[in-house]
Structure 1
Amino acid sequence: MASHRRPKQTSRARVTVLTATAAAAVALSAQAAQAAPAKQSVKTVKAKVDALYEQTEQATEKLNGATEKQDQLQKQVEVIQDEVARQQGDLNDLQDDLGTLASAQYRSGGIDPTLQLFLSADPDSYLDKASTLDQVSTKQAEALRQIAEKKRTLNQQKAEAASKLSELDQTRTELRKKKKEVQGKLAETQKLLNSLTAAQRAALAAEDARSSRSNERVNLGNDTPASGRAAAALAAATGKRGAPYVYGATGPSSFDCSGLTSWAYAQAGVSIPRTSQAQANAGQRLSMSQLMPGDLVIFYGDQHHVALYAGNGMVLHAPRTGTVVRYESINNMPFQFGVRI
């Protein structure tokens, strides 16, 4: 006779474990899907890279400003400290002179003047000595006045030196912060570039190569520079085509944007400020239609990029990290105004 045993039921605990395992598997699958997003298009990545490079250049110009301020403060501190040392030397000399006068007065005037006159066998001789003592007292008073004045000047200069040193210390702290910001932006950009596939990297490299080739056949027209110095500055910068962009660099083998323009004008014998924001205020402002070769061209609302106008709607500049000094259309960036030096 067949047995009619009832099938063994799955325990409630076992059902719970299986359910939990299945749920965990679903969750892990969802997390894996989130951790491996679809590859971004080259166009999307390029837009992100360009935005990061622009942020890097903004930070670079702030770094340049802090560097320039540090250099200026350092020179001011050195001048003040030299003056403090000179004034201290003068004060020491005055104090030595005063000591000599005081010793002479003591030796000449150690006895009460009335008694000296009474005891003197030669009153005329004493009167001559008394006149000398009056002169010594006058010199002593003048020496005291000079010493007091020197001390006031010295204290003022010491206070100024202390203030400048404090400002210099703050600037150095700011400089370290700005440098770290630039390096962080560059690291972020590199991380994004490293995430690209080999094909995407090749596509970006091909685009850069096209930009370089287009620089070999640029039509600059026949515009005439506004002045001899503008012509000389543009000629100097033209000779640096192909030099790499390096943040904070001012030549002669590498440049950032304002490093190139300040170096170029220095070759023309003209000193202009270091940063693009300061260069924006270094001369006469121009509209786009007024530009002539050698004029500065300021880009972006915060004026963080500067180039040299090359003619026929083209500028010569150091664009960003990973590029070289090259020609580019003036319309590739948001034009603000020109500056004639």
Structure 2
Amino acid sequence: MDQKSDKTFKGNYFEDFTIGQILNHATPRTVTEGDVALYTALYGPRFALQSSDEFAHNSGYECAPLDDMLTFHIVFGKTVPDISINAVANLGYADCKFLKPVYPGDTLSAVSEVIGLKENSSGKNGNVFVRTTGSNQAGEVVLQYVRWVMVNKKDPASPAPETVIPDLPEAVAASDLTVPEGLDFSGYDAVLAGSPYFWEDYEPGEKINHVDGMTIEAADHMMATRLYQNTAKVHFNLHMMKDGRLGERIVYGGHVISLARGLSFNGLGNAALIAAINGGRHVNPCIAGDTVYAWTEVLDRAEIGGRSDVGALRVRLVATKDHEPADHAYKDDDGKYLPSVLLDLDLWLLLPRR
């Protein structure tokens, strides 16, 4: 007897989401030193805190922690099959807080809550807002963030849900930033870290050209996305893209973030820790063959809880493609992003103080 069944999951469409819906994401992931080595090979970060167990131990850690963006990508990747497998585009981030260090050997899992829905005027898709929480094997929250994504409808004729747009902060308040437990920068070795510039050396309004560029190879961005178990079709399946405007696989936006973050070492070599992502936009698509550059604008500087060893720096990190950013341009006279801009990211960084 010929028995047929469809056991595959094709992902959620816009009409499958409801306000308050809880999505428990598969699959828990134990992070290994191999993941860290591959991340380093892909992006070339050189921050001493994540590179040296001894440096980290002298700064109050049990060993070198994961790069914060590696933690972010692994948690993010868990959410893709349930939230954005049928997405048109990932639109933005907000209220992202890094709450606890992650070490090799830790196991990460993720859960999301739907906090907003808005059908677009075309009736073909809509925006889904989710708050995602990443936790370790002890149930401790290591990361929490909001993102919104444009998701296709399965049936354009299905009725629109009630519009709910969450009230999100423009930025995480400096008073709400978390300094990792045990962190002690009082004996910080700037020579070993490779940068003489401390928190006091940066001023609001200052702009830093990170000088270097990195050309994206197709194998690199697909390998990176698989590392995070991100299953979004547009990053892998050329058949999905042949009729599109690019005719090529789109690079995962997080890949661009990590490239820009790695490039930022040249100028921000002591900014090893990301405390928060206030907001961010993937402005234009990126494909293999594009060369990524980055520059940073210092937006604000804040003391943290009376601490004399560590301070917070709020920055705008801008990534461009095929455009060396010495002019620090990212918008035209009408306030629209230039075609060369890939990423506009608002961050709080933690730096040692003198």
Q: Same fold (TM over 0.5)?
A: no
| TM-score, structure 1 as length reference | 0.23
Q: Which is richer in helix?
A: 1
